[in-house]
Amino acid sequence: MFEVRIHGRGGQGVVTAAELLSVAAFREGRHAQAFPSFGSERTGAPVVAYCRIDDKPIRLREPIMAPDALLIQDPTLLHQVDVFSGLVPDGYVLINTTRSLDELGLAEFLGRFRRERVCTVAATELALAHVGRPVPNAALLAGFAAIAGRISLDSVEAAIRDRFPAKVAEANVAAAREAYRSVMRNMQEVAHAEAD
Amino acid sequence: MLKQIEGSAAVAEAVALCRPEVICAYPISPQTHIVEALGRMVTDGRLAPCEFINVESEFAAMSVAIGASAAGARAYTATASQGLLFMAEAVYNAAGLGLPIVMTVANRAIGAPINIWNDHTDALSQRDCGWIQLFAEDNQEALDLHLQAFRLAEELSLPVMVCMDGFILTHAYERVDLPTQQQVDAYLPPYLPRQVLDPAEPISIGAMVGPEAFMEVRYLAHAKQRQALDLIPSWAEEFRRIFGRDSGGLTHAYRVDDAEIVVVALGSVLGTIKDTVDEMRTGGTRIGVLGIGCFRPWPTAAVREALQTAKRVVVLEKSLAVGLGGIVSNNVAASYAGSPDRVHTVIAGLGGRAITRQSLHRLLGQAVEGGLEPLTFLDLDHALVERVIARERGQRRSGPIAEGILRDLGVVAARAG
């Protein structure tokens, strides 16, 4: 079982991101379970959503406490919520930001994780450029597809097209593709740096 | 057809496949997505003929369902929590009148304090109202139980409540197998009412019955519910023939054959319990699980049989009989052939408190060692409780408990977990 926890704020499509991820996994023949951390969500309030992916039916209903991957849709949460709580030692981290891990003050903390599994992507900027609204979820999911290789970009695109009207879907797909390329590029740079 | 959809969407699809003629609804979390989806289907003509009636309250929702059903229409509504309490008088009437309404209850806690999260207090508060109460373990079963509910309701002329865990199931995306209209039509015949309000042949429904026959009318309601105990397993079998999967039935036994400890529960928590039990089995513990799929009528014989080998029974329930302890456990103890002091009550998950494998391992470990108390509140914060008790001891005007306890916790606004 592979467990993903997504942190963001109300209005950023956090719950939708988990749902889309489950649809992408389903399209690849996997079992998937997406659910929000339920509450009286308000725009701007911290929101958590979860997605489990497995090859067999998923019965477990507890919240994800030891995620294999963390998607952080809003870097301002880093100072408000313990987003890294329970992350497994070889887990994946993808943060939506234009800043570097150094600038975020996370370089040392995240140094204990595998470097090639920790990445940033400017998902909000990509969403603004392509969709015209600050909804980073599609771009972040594509970034997750790139960094973890657990689902394909094709499946993410198909899940987006399933969910949204054609025009909105294509704009999100464009943001997703660019995010995917950006994370791939970023990972190659890390690989080169480590090879040196 | 396999689909990855939200639990509420799956239930809405199931209800639509049952061709309801009247749907009345008043929005309350966490059932809202179900009736919203059905409303859209009626508006866009996918679900026809069907009248979708927006009402001004839950009391009106059930009252409209009663009227519709009495006029011979297949009627459906959904609610949760305070909504169910608000319609309670009409809920009893629907059962007393023998009207086969189907209602989804997206289980949620009852206030005060205000709490929108999941537990079973709402449905269990209505356990003696005369409705059949079925509980779903996952979204596939929630979908399937609605097909079975209409069949059962109409055969017996009794209303049926399909209970599914609010948020945990209603808001979870998971894989479901959506049946075809042809399959559903083969399983669910058209509604043939035993009584119908028809201007061409006027009758009245809802007579006043005095001491001369009231008990007999109540007895007949009881007899019908006991009859359901025979029908439910045979229809679950027929369901398997048509739809190709096991769904519904009175109880679901899991690894109980040689089990010395059996955990009994209702609803979606059964999945987490089964995963825990598998881990304990790997460690050599002879432990099993009994899921109660049908809470009313209570399946006395099926429970007794499943608990045959159990030396200890742990009933884990998301409900509390304040001043007594368990509700489900009381029913279980009455069906257990062994000594009632071998039945342990565990109150868990009230108001959305997460029930984790870690806590279950600790709890069931105690049961294995024989150290489990008769009544346990899983993961209760004893220190927090003590602070309130000390405050009440120390001053007369100790203030409201809920506000005080949130202040003690330093919580600005309630959150999940």
pLDDT tens, position by position, A155-188: 999 999 999 999 999 999 999 999 999 999 998 8
Mutation choice for B interface testing from A14, A38, A156 by most B CBs within 10 A: A38
Q: Residues B68-91: what's their mean pLDDT? A: 98
Please enumerate in sequence order all residues whose Cβ is within 8 A of that of B50, keeping only pairs 6 or more positions apart, or say none.
B19, B20, B21, B22, B23, B42
Q: Give contacts of A27 with chain B, Cβ < 8 Å.
A: 4
Q: CB of A157 within 8 Å of any CB in chain B?
A: no
Q: Residues B74-100: what's their mean pLDDT? A: 98
How confident is residue B417, by pLDDT bands cut at 50, 70 and 90? Answer: very low
Average pLDDT across chain B, whole number: 96
Domain CATH number, residue A91: 3.40.920.10
Instruction: Measure the N-to-C terminal CA separation of chain B; round to a whole number of Å.
Output: 34
Q: CB of B81 within 8 Å of any CB in chain A?
A: no
Q: CB of B379 within 8 Å of any CB in chain A?
A: no
> What would the pLDDT profile of A41-85 be if each residue is shown by its tens digit?
677 888 999 999 999 999 999 999 999 999 999 999 988 888 999
Q: Residues B244-263: what's their mean pLDDT? A: 96
Q: Give contacts of A57 with chain B, Cβ < 8 Å.
A: 175
Instruction: Give the gap in angstroms from C-alpha A51 to the nearest C-alpha of chain B.
Output: 9
Task: Please give the pLDDT value at position B204.
Answer: 95
CB contact under 8 Å between B416 and A59, yes or no, is no
Task: Please give the pLDDT value at position A44.
Answer: 81
Instruction: Give the gap in angstroms from C-alpha A39 to the nearest C-alpha of chain B.
Output: 6
Please enumerate in sequence order all residues whose Cβ is within 8 A of that of B7, keeping only pairs 6 or more positions apart, or say none.
B139, B142, B164, B169, B170, B171, B172, B173, B174
Nearest neighbour of A61 by CB, restricted to B6, B117, B272: B272
Q: Residues B34-47: what's their mean pLDDT? A: 97
Where are the strands (E) in B166-276, listed by range? 173-177, 251-254, 261-265
Q: Which residues pair with B284 in a beta bridge?
A: none
Q: Residues B389-396: what's their mean pLDDT? A: 96
pLDDT over 50 at B170, yes or no: yes
Q: Are B259 and B287 in contact (CB under 8 A)?
A: yes
Q: Which domain holds residue A103?
A: 2-195
> β-strand A2-9 against A46-54: which pairing, if any?
antiparallel
Mutation choice for B interface testing from A7, A40, A62 by most B CBs within 10 A: A62
Q: Give contacts of A33 with chain B, Cβ < 8 Å.
A: 172-174
Between chain A and chain B, the number of residue pairs with CB atoms below 8 A apart is 79
How confident is residue A192, by pLDDT bands cut at 50, 70 and 90? Answer: confident
Residue-by-residue DSSP string for B322-358: TTTB-SHHHHHHHH-SS-GGGEEEEE--GGG----HH
For A63, the closest chain B residue by CA position comes to B354
Q: Give contacts of A34 with chain B, Cβ < 8 Å.
A: 172-174
Three-state DSSP state, A86: coil
Structure tokens at B22: 């009247």
Mutation choice for B interface testing from A27, A40, A47, A61 by most B CBs within 10 A: A61
Q: CB of B58 within 8 Å of any CB in chain A?
A: no
> What would the pLDDT profile of A147-157 be if each residue is shown by its tens digit?
999 999 999 99
Nearest neighbour of B269 by CB, restricted to A33, A40, A61: A61
Per the structure, the count of domains in chain A is 1
> What would the pLDDT profile of B124-154 be if each residue is shown by its tens digit?
999 999 999 999 999 999 999 999 999 999 9
Answer yes or no: pTM beyond 0.80: yes
CB contact under 8 Å between A63 and B138, yes or no, is no
Q: CB of A105 within 8 Å of any CB in chain B?
A: no
For each of the domains in chain B, give its residue range(s) and CATH number, in order of start.
2-243 (3.40.50.970), 251-377 (3.40.50.920), 386-417 (no CATH)
Q: CB of B352 within 8 Å of any CB in chain A?
A: yes
ipTM confidence = 0.95
CA distance B234 to B152: 11
Q: CB of A44 within 8 Å of any CB in chain B?
A: no
CB contact under 8 Å between A38 and B116, yes or no, is yes
> What would the pLDDT profile of B350-374 be if each residue is shown by its tens digit?
999 999 999 999 999 999 999 999 9
pLDDT over 60 at A40, yes or no: no
CB contact under 8 Å between B271 and A31, yes or no, is no
Q: Are B315 and B373 in contact (CB under 8 A)?
A: no
> What would the pLDDT profile of B290-323 be if each residue is shown by its tens digit?
999 999 999 999 999 999 989 999 999 999 999 9
Q: CB of A163 within 8 Å of any CB in chain B?
A: no
CA distance B60 to B54: 9
Q: Which residues pair with B347 in a beta bridge?
A: B317, B377
pLDDT over 90 at B329, yes or no: yes
How confident is residue B413, by pLDDT bands cut at 50, 70 and 90? Answer: low
Nearest neighbour of A38 by CB, restricted to B6, B117, B175: B117
For B174, the closest chain A residue by CA position comes to A33
Q: Are A73 and A96 in contact (CB under 8 A)?
A: yes
How confident is residue B416, by pLDDT bands cut at 50, 70 and 90? Answer: very low
CB contact under 8 Å between B354 and A33, yes or no, is no
Task: Please give the pLDDT value at position A11.
Answer: 87
For B360, the closest chain A residue by CA position comes to A62
Q: Give contacts of B116 with chain A, Cβ < 8 Å.
A: 38-40
How confident is residue B324, by pLDDT bands cut at 50, 70 and 90? Answer: very high
Residue-by-residue DSSP string for B9-63: HHHHHHHHHT--SEEEE---TTTHHHHHHHHHHHHTTSS-S-EEEE-SSHHHHHH
Q: Residues B219-247: what's their mean pLDDT? A: 94
Burial of A54 (0-12, 13-18, 19+ CB in 10 A): middle
